[in-house]
């Protein structure tokens, strides 16, 4: 009788240990298998803005004439939005390292919209002479280049990347991941 109780208590202990191990494996696998769903939900966000920069540029041009010069000057206003385009997220961008660290490799932070100049707010500053649409388009492109050069600095991109890292770390913590490492792909040159 005593032998049967020892065997049955050992059997219960072995079965309990096996049950705990199975639960632990199921938890680990559920976190790893949840990754495609996690990627799909993050991709559905689309673009995620982390830094907004408002800029104003004065752009002018002069056309020399025989008797007088013509001039055209305009003030352009733009709003540049820096962030992540989640549609570029790779299917293998989020993975588990070991059983405790979630690693997310995200697309580089960049300009979300190339059409950032607010044409409704663009104001003529000075206009003398007759100007074709090509000249106005050239001014628009110059204003776009000036704004890009002024606002897409390494410091602003780094600030947007830091904000992205912080927000996504908080998001993954809320999803139940304790240890999270966020890294970014290299930006194309």
pLDDT tens per residue across span 19-28: 433 333 334 3
Distance set, CA 50 to CA 32, 33, 75, 96 (Å): 28, 29, 26, 26
Q: Are 123 and 78 in contact (CB under 8 A)?
A: no
Q: DSSP code of 187?
A: P
DSSP 45-58: T-EEEEEEEEEEEE
If you average pLDDT over every residue of the chain, what do you get?
78
Q: What is the separation of C-alpha 5 from the centre of its chain, rounded to a whole number of angstroms? A: 62
pTM: 0.70
Would you call 142 exposed, middle or buried from its count of C-beta atoms within 10 A (0-12, 13-18, 19+)? middle
Nearest residue to 59 (alpha-carbon basis) of 47, 44, 77 = 77
- Residue-wise pLDDT tens digits, 6-23: 445 554 444 444 443 333
- Residue-wise pLDDT tens digits, 154-166: 999 999 999 999 9
- Residue-wise pLDDT tens digits, 70-113: 888 999 999 999 999 888 877 777 888 876 677 888 889 999 99
Distance set, CA 173 to CA 10, 21, 96, 110 (Å): 39, 24, 14, 25
Nearest residue to 72 (alpha-carbon basis) of 151, 126, 10, 135 = 126
What integer pLDDT is reported at residue 29 of this predicted model?
36
């Amino acid at each position: 009788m005593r032998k049967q109780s020892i065997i049955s208590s050992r059997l219960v202990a072995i079965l309990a240990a096996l049950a705990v191990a199975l639960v632990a494996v199921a938890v680990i696998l559920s976190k790893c298998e949840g990754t495609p769903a996690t990627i799909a939900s993050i991709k559905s966000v689309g673009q995620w803005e982390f830094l907004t920069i408002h800029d104003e540029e004065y752009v002018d041009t002069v056309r020399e004439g025989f008797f007088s010069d013509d001039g055209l000057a305009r003030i352009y206003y733009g709003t540049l939005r820096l962030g992540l385009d989640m549609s570029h997220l790779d299917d293998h961008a989020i993975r588990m390292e070991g059983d405790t660290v979630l690693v997310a490799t995200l697309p580089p932070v960049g300009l979300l919209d190339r059409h950032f100049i607010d044409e409704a707010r663009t104001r003529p500053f000075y206009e003398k002479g007759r100007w074709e649409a090509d000249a106005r388009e050239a001014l628009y492109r110059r204003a776009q280049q000036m704004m890009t050069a002024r606002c897409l600095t390494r410091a602003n991109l780094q600030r947007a990347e830091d904000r992205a890292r912080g927000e996504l770390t908080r998001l993954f913590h809320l999803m139940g991941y304790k240890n999270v490492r966020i890294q970014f792909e290299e930006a194309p040159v």
